[in-house]
């Protein structure tokens, strides 16, 4: 499973989006567009990403831009995996 699908699956599962998550694509807005995505959910998503991918996210790495779209979140994860974030 590629990084995009892994991140999407974690997001859908963490936010309990069910069937609504099936239509998410790289351009899908996250913050402000998905009611379930509040500040506590962001923490839960970061924790899920850290556990799944085996990296650590520092507080100063978290930004609204990373959670703007599903694509931007996948880009953030890709940078972390490449060691450039």
Q: Which domain range does residue 51 map to?
A: 3-82
The tens digit of pLDDT for each residue in 13-53 reads: 999 999 999 999 999 999 999 999 999 999 999 999 999 99
Closest CA to 8 of 77, 62, 83: 77
User: Structural domain tally of the chain?
Assistant: 1
Q: Which two tokens stand for residue 50?
A: 């850290």
Closest CA to 14 of 32, 82, 57, 34: 34
Q: At residue 84, does pLDDT exceed 90?
A: no
Mean pLDDT of the chain: 94
The proportion of the chain whose per-residue pLDDT surpasses 90, expressed as a percent, equals: 93
| Confidence at 1, pLDDT banded by 50, 70, 90 | confident
Residue 18: CATH number of its domain: 1.10.1200.10
pLDDT of residue 83: 84
Q: Answer for the pair 35, 72: CB distance below 8 angstroms, yes or no.
A: no
DSSP letters along 18-68, please?
GGGGGG--TT-B-TTT-TT--HHHHHHHHHHHHHHH-----GGG--GGGGS
């Amino acid at each position: 499973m590629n990084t995009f699908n892994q991140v999407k699956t974690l997001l859908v599962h963490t936010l309990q989006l069910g069937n609504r998550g099936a239509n998410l694509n790289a351009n899908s807005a996250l913050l402000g567009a998905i009611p379930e995505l509040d500040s506590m959910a962001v923490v839960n998503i970061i924790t899920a990403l850290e556990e799944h991918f085996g990296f650590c996210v520092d507080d100063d790495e978290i930004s609204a831009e990373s959670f703007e779209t599903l694509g931007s979140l996948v880009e953030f994860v890709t940078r972390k995996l490449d060691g450039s974030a």
